[in-house]
Amino acid sequence: MSELEIGKVTDFFAKPVVAGIQLTGALRIGDKIRIRGGSTDMELPVRSMQIDRVSVTEATVGDLIGIEVPDRVRRGDKVFKITEGP
């Protein structure tokens, strides 16, 4: 299993619990991600993703996306895509 940094958290919204993420890599529905920072460390599958409040199935470098997260994340937390294999 390996991790590739694909973005940073830019915003957090409490209701619904959503992270705003600025992407530096591609991401699609079904990918598994890890969000890690000073007091944050969580893994989750990407079940839904939005750009400008419109649902999308994939996003690419430069996109600002919103995804639901299970708990609080903080601005500046790093986002990694988890891939299986060596």
Segment 18-69, tens digit of pLDDT:
999 999 999 999 999 999 999 999 999 999 999 999 999 999 999 999 999 9
How many domains, the chain?
1
pTM, to two decimals: 0.94
DSSP category for residue 28: E
Report the CATH number at residue 60: 2.40.30.10
Print the domain residue range for 66.
Answer: 2-83
Alpha carbon distance 48, 68 (integer Å): 7
Give, in order, the Cα–Cα distances in Å from 76 to each of 12, 20, 30, 55, 65: 11, 11, 23, 24, 15
